[in-house]
A and B are shown apart, each in its own frame.
Chain A
Amino acid sequence: AQTVTQSQPEMSVQEAETVTLSCTYDTSESDYYLFWYKQPPSRQMILVIRQEAYKQQNATENRFSVNFQKAAKSFSLKISDSQLGDAAMYFCAYRSGNAGGTSYGKLTFGQGTILTVHP
């Protein structure tokens, strides 16, 4: 079974600075997808960024980028120029790409990291 680990329960950053959230995962599959979701205090979870395991290039979405290290099974999220609105719980998630497997389509989440942004 796949597992996702976020080792930082809480992180903080000054506004306009850069912060990196860590995520590691364990899988024996070669085809999979990784996601970062953001859950603000209002509770509606939204997708921040996603990465296909077969792509070597790191995904980027505006101020959000990932450092995907497939061999190390690491998928960290970097937030540049942090804003007050970035304060939220961030979840790393894994999804199998193995069609027909028992976990196909299922999202496995990490424990989450609470990010605080200081003005």
Chain B
Amino acid sequence: ETGVTQTPRHLVMGMTNKKSLKCEQHLGHNAMYWYKQSAKKPLELMFVYNFKEQTENNSVPSRFSPECPNSSHLFLHLHTLQPEDSALYLCASSQSGRPYNEQFFGPGTRLTVL
């Protein structure tokens, strides 16, 4: 595997389900990000992790719970979601420390909440 991978690619869940999204980066980066992409809206940054530590939580509801066990893996645990949470969830990684550094994105997980 190369770059940034995300699983699953598609997920349909009910409002009472609990599921997790997984992201893995194979680039040796030390910063990882979760973004939400909704139709007709700019990408919204949700969480940032630097060296496994959460450095930004962009006022995300507690029904989204991130986990970063190491610099290569990032999870987004989902529970009691709402239909408006349906969106494309993108993971990205970069080498932290320099804002010039490119963020590399995964293909995303298309989430549908029924």
A-side interface residues toward B, CB under 8 Å? 4, 32-33, 35, 37, 42-47, 50, 52, 91, 95-97, 104-112
Tell me if B106 and A47 are in contact (CB < 8 A): no
Chain B nearest CB, measured from A44 CB (Å): 5
Chain A nearest CB, measured from B95 CB (Å): 11
Could you name 19 residue pairs across A and B whose Cβ atoms are closer than 8 Å?
Answer: A32-B99, A33-B99, A33-B100, A37-B105, A45-B105, A46-B105, A52-B100, A96-B99, A97-B99, A105-B48, A107-B33, A107-B43, A107-B45, A107-B103, A108-B45, A109-B42, A111-B40, A111-B41, A111-B42
B-side interface residues toward A, CB under 8 Å? 31, 33, 40-43, 45, 48, 50, 55-56, 88, 90, 92, 96, 99-100, 102-103, 105-108
> Complex Cα distance A111/B39, Å?
10
Assuming the A-B contacts A33-B99, A97-B99, A105-B99, are A112 and B107 also in contact, with contact meaning beta carbons closer than 8 angstroms in the complex? Answer: no
Selected from B31, B88, B100, B107, the residue in CB contact (under 8 A) with A42 is B107
4 tightest CB-CB pairs across the interface, nearest first? A45-B105, A109-B43, A109-B42, A44-B107
> Complex Cα distance A32/B98, Å?
11
Tell me if B42 and A43 are in contact (CB < 8 A): no
